[in-house]
Structures are given as structure tokens and as C-alpha cells.
Amino acid sequence: MVSKLDNAFAFQQQALGLRTHRMQILAGNIANADTPNFKARDFDFSSALKEAVAGRSAGNLAMATTTARHLTGSLDDGPAHLMYRTPSQGSVDGNTVDMDIERAQFSENAIQLEAGVRFITGKFKTLMTAIQGQ
């Protein structure tokens, strides 16, 4: 029974995890808007979600070792492959953060995150009603 519930919520769990990660990336871009040579980053949410649902993740790339005594490590940039945002207009200090774009992306992501949370909350309420029979 628990595995059926886990399977029912797996997609939403992946989506909310990616939305949360994207929120952190966008907040970092906004926080570094005045940092010289900072390069704004983001990722393609839809392709990252497709890969996460399929079981493929961009993170945890294993390092090659030549002997069994080497320590294992990973190159982890999170659950999605981060890309640099293409600047619409260059700046003198090399910073590529465009606050209008970042605010719009942040707001859109926040709305999508809230919608996902409300969807899961509604599903849980439906399940609780079914269990309690009220």
C-alpha cells in the first residue's frame, strides 16, 4: 500500500524538488546582481523533470579512479544541469544578471511551486476523506 502511495506522488515529489532547487538558483542570481564577473545560471525545468522522472539525474557524476585505494567522489551541481544565462545586454563589470528577467523567472517559479504544493495538499485531503469516510 505504501509503495502505491509513493508511486502516486513520485512525479509531484520530483517536480517540487526541482522547483525548490530552481528557486535557490534564481535567488542566488538575484543576490549576486552587483557582484563583478558573476554569471547568472539557470536550468531547463521541463527537460530536468523528464530526466528526473526517467531516473536519470545530472548530479553525482562519478570520478574515474585508477586504483582501488583512491577515494570516490562526485561532481554534484544538483538535480539538474546548470547552464549560464545568455545576457541580453553586456555590462562593464562582466555581470550577466538582468534583474527584470530574474524577478520574472523567480515569480513564475514561485507560482508554480505554490500550485504544486496546493495540488499535493488537495490529494492528501482527498485521501484522508476516503480513509475517514466523511
What are 66's three cell numbers? 585508477
Cα separation, 19 vs 105, in Å, equals 11
Q: If DSSP codes are grouped into helix, strand and coil, which group holds residue 29?
A: helix
When divided into structural domains, the chain yields a total of 1
pLDDT in tens, the chain (134 residues): 677 777 778 889 999 999 999 999 999 999 999 999 999 999 999 999 998 888 765 554 556 677 777 776 655 557 788 999 888 887 889 999 999 999 999 999 999 999 999 999 999 899 899 889 86
Distance of CA 72 to the CA centre of its chain: 25
Do 75 and 58 meet the contact criterion of CB atoms below 8 Å apart?
no
Containing structural domain, residue 45: 2-132
> Containing H/E element for 51?
helix 45-54
Cα separation, 134 vs 124, in Å, equals 14
